[in-house]
Amino acid sequence: MNKLGINLWNWVQGLGPDCLGLPRKAAGLGFTAVELPMTTALVDPKLAAEVRESGLEVSLCASLGAGRDLSSFDEGPRAAALDYLTACLESGRVLGASVLCGPLYTGGGKRHWLSESDRRREWDLAAAGLRELARRAEECGMRLALEPLNRYRTSIANTSAQILRMVEDVGHKSVGLHFDTYHACLEEKDLLSALESALQSGRVYHFHACANNRGAPGQGVLPWVQILDLLVRYRYPYHITMETFALGGLDSSWVQVHEEPDQLAANGLRYLKDYFTARGLC
């Protein structure tokens, strides 16, 4: 069965002292993987030790704020992004992480209309930065998984088809797609068709299982059974990770619409386990 993970954003707003104890909690709840929100590229040694001791597999989720952007027309933000992402990879090497995921190609919530020539230039700069990052990822024994974001976050890549085109342009085996059901339900014309096409490519390297309102798997309006059926049918081999948010976090609600974090985590995990158990896959 796939490793079932949870991003620590479920409990905290970013990587810091409040994360101590959470990998142990995730393991105690029954998760088999943990994802670190890399709001800083360096992981505290105490947290790193706890992650290793937990026995959980590890993924890292990048956080590219203002001033970090591989697609920028200015060299400064491109260099800053490459430095930050390289430091994330080095942290991943220490932790034994398998993948660095997220919108690695852009940063800073960039949304704009461009001429066709400038749009191509922006895309080519992102691809060039990713080629170099892929080389560094391979040295660290990690994959890169590029996440399409919804229209409110970026104008560069909103759909899985766009990301697969970028993966092809980068042309490196370490680079694939990060499929996130939250963003997909906002942007894909047909979510199930988009997921199936992505899985058929063989380049889906990471999967976030999130409800349309950032709730847990099994919640919201998404067709969860059909989504998971596709992952099983195409033998998706990597992590299935919950990405929910504590109040005040990146995509949290302005009011508390979900269960408390511990219960939300438990409910999402129970749904995934029940699905796989019912099919004899757990």
pLDDT at residue number 282: 77
The number of residues in the chain equals: 282
With a pLDDT cut of 90, the percent of the chain lying above it is 92
Round to whole Å and give the CA distance between 95 and 97: 5
The DSSP line for 114-173 is: --HHHHHHHHHHHHHHHHHHHHHHHHTT-EEEE----TTT-SS--SHHHHHHHHHHHT-T
Q: What's the CA gap between 277 and 280, in Å, rounded?
A: 5
Whole-angstrom distance, CA of residue 10 vs CA of residue 117: 40
Domain boundaries along the sequence of the chain: 4-278
Per the listing, tokens 């993948």 go with 99
**Is residue 14 within 8 Å of 63, Cβ to Cβ?**
yes
- Say whether pLDDT at 108 is over 80: no
pLDDT tier, 124 (very low <50, low <70, confident <90, very high otherwise): very high
Q: Which CATH number describes the domain made up of 4-278?
A: 3.20.20.150
Going by DSSP bridges, is the β-strand pair 57-62/99-102 parallel, antiparallel, or unpaired? Answer: parallel
Residue 208: strand pairing partners: 180, 241
Mean pLDDT score, 92-109: 94
Among 100, 185, 107, smallest CA distance to 150 is for 185
φ and ψ at residue 30, rounded to 5 degrees: 115, 5
Choose among 210, 277, 272: nearest CA to 29: 272
What confidence tens digit (pLDDT) does each residue in 34-87 have?
A: 999 999 999 999 999 999 999 999 999 999 988 999 999 999 999 999 999 999
